[in-house]
Copies of this chain bind each other. A is one copy, B any other.
Amino acid sequence: MLALEKKILNEGTVLPGNILKVGSFLNHQIDVGFLFEMADEVKKHFENKSITKILTIETSGIAIAVPVAYKMNVPLVFAKKNKSQNISGDVYSAKIHSYTHGNDYDAVVMKEYLKENDNILIIDDFLANGAAMNGLIDIVNQSGAALSGIGIAIEKEFQGGGNLLREQGIDVLSLAKIKKMTDSEIFFCD
Contact = CB atoms under 8 A, between A and B. Distances in A.
B88 A15 contact: yes
Contact of A63 (B28, B66, B84): B66
Interface string A53-95: 0000011001100110110011111101000111110000000
A36 interface: yes
Contacts of A75: 29-32
A169 interface: no
B66 A28 contact: no
A158 interface: no
A: contact size bracket: 35 or more
Interface of A: 15, 17, 19, 21, 23-24, 27-33, 35-36, 58-59, 62-63, 66-67, 69-70, 73-78, 80, 84-88, 100-102, 109-110, 112-113
B86 A23 contact: yes
Given A62-B59, A86-B21, A101-B84, A77 B110 contact: no
Contacts of A33: 70, 73
6 nearest A-B residue pairs (beta carbon) = A32-B69, A29-B113, A30-B76, A58-B59, A66-B66, A32-B70
A101 B86 CA distance: 9
Give the residue among A21, A24, A29, A36 with the most B Cβ atoms within 10 A: A29
Nearest to A34: B75
Given A23-B110, A30-B78, A84-B101, 20 more contacts: A21-B86, A23-B87, A23-B113, A24-B112, A28-B78, A28-B87, A28-B109, A29-B113, A30-B69, A30-B76, A32-B66, A32-B70, A33-B73, A36-B70, A59-B59, A62-B62, A62-B63, A63-B66, A66-B66, A85-B100
